[in-house]
């Protein structure tokens, strides 16, 4: 009898535990999930109101019609992690699993199974005897990636160098290219002139 009473008492509390309270923002549904915000963290719910990805602080917001919130496209959502003072971007799936380890200096949301990203290369150019550390140079290329993070096309042939004094800048380098369709991308040069390029499917 006591066990039955305990179970009956717990049932209402289990239901209450699923109630979402103190939410500061809820986004429109995109890709069958909506982002919800509490404090500095975001989570995702499905159309039944169940949390499918718990609150976390590494989800990256995108500006959609003047509103900022994280979202899924093609079962991928942007995340960002700091490493050695540099912010790197990657992706998770709807299970909250990291599908592409944060490795890009900037990245876009997926569209037609592709995304644009800035892949960074670190080159050791010398050694500082005073500080006993390598002198390094960072440079990056704009690339098209697939859902596994594999580069399927290089959009910039020349490396864009990053000054070490700017690598801690809070704002990531800007991606200047734009996906136009499943097979086309607009690539801008330093004079802001565009070249329409067919994506090279490797």
Q: What percent of the chain has pLDDT over 70?
A: 83
142 in Cβ contact with 156 (< 8 Å): yes
Beta carbons within 10 angstroms of residue 99's beta carbon: 16
SS (H, E, C) 119-169: EEEEEEEEEECCCCEEEEEEEEEEEEECCCCCEEEECCCCCEEECHHHCCC
pLDDT for 18 equals 57
Higher local confidence (pLDDT), 82 or 12: 82
Higher local confidence (pLDDT), 85 or 71: 71
Please state which of the ranges 23-27, 75-79, 94-98, 134-138 shows the lowest mean pLDDT. Answer: 134-138
The 10s digit of each residue's pLDDT in 103-116 is 999 999 999 999 99
Across the range 55-74, mean pLDDT stands at 96
Mean pLDDT of the chain: 84
pLDDT for 13 equals 38
Q: What is the pTM of this model?
A: 0.80
Q: Given the structure tokens 């607009």, which residue do they identify? A: 186
């Amino acid at each position: 009898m006591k066990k039955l009473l305990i179970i009956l008492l717990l049932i209402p509390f289990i239901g209450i535990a699923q109630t979402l309270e103190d939410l500061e923002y809820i986004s429109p549904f995109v890709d069958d999930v909506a982002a919800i915000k509490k404090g500095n963290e975001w989570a995702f719910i499905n159309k039944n109101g169940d949390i499918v990805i718990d609150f976390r602080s590494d989800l990256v917001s995108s500006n959609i019609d003047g509103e900022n919130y994280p979202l899924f496209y093609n079962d991928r959502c942007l995340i960002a992690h700091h490493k050695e003072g540099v912010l790197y971007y990657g992706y998770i799936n709807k299970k909250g699993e990291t599908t592409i380890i944060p490795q890009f200096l900037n990245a876009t949301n997926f569209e037609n199974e592709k995304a644009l990203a800035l892949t960074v290369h670190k080159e050791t150019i010398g050694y500082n005897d005073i500080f006993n550390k390598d002198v390094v140079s960072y440079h990056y290329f704009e690339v098209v990636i697939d859902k596994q993070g594999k580069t399927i096309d290089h959009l910039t042939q020349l490396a864009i160098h990053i000054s070490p004094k700017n690598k801690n800048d809070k704002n990531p380098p800007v991606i200047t290219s734009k996906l136009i369709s499943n097979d086309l991308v607009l690539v801008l040069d330093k004079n802001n002139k565009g070249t329409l390029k067919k994506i090279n499917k490797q």
